[in-house]
């Protein structure tokens, strides 16, 4: 019985160490992702000249040329305007399609 409980404790300790290591390895990625998101939000707000929370094709062309180039793909609903959430969704789907196996 003692060896069984010792084995369980050892497995629990190994699991904790593995989870901590995985979290630490992801921390730089999370920080980089948050920095990119903050930068995107600042650029979006600067481009949104009428402050309606959406970019028209013209607003995107004037201040966010890379977003403008993909405007039709981002504007999945064909509304003529895109939100920050629309851009983020597009960027995440684009990143996912570039990963191996995706």
Q: Are 73 and 90 in contact (CB under 8 A)?
A: yes
CA distance 84 to 87: 5
**What digits encode the pLDDT tens for the residues 30-62?**
888 899 999 999 999 999 999 999 999 999 999
- Sorted by where each starts, the structural domains of the chain and their CATH numbers stand as 2-98 (1.10.238.10)
Distance CA 35, CA 86 (A): 18
CA distances (Å), origin 10, targets 14, 22, 24, 36: 6, 18, 21, 39
Rounded to the nearest angstrom, the gap between the alpha carbon of residue 24 and the centroid of all alpha carbons in its chain is 18
CB neighbours of residue 10 within 10 Å: 10
Tens-digit pLDDT profile for residues 57-95: 999 999 999 999 999 999 999 999 999 999 999 999 988
């Amino acid at each position: 019985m003692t060896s069984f409980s010792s084995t369980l404790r050892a497995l629990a300790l190994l699991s904790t160490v593995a989870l901590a290591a995985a979290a630490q390895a992801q921390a730089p990625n999370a920080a980089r992702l948050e920095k990119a998101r903050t930068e995107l939000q600042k650029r979006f707000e600067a481009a949104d000249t009428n402050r309606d929370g959406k970019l028209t094709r013209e607003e995107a062309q004037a201040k966010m040329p890379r977003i403008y180039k993909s405007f039709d793909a981002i504007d999945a609903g064909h509304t003529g305007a895109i939100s920050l959430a629309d851009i983020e969704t597009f960027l995440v789907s684009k990143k996912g399609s570039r990963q191996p196996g995706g």
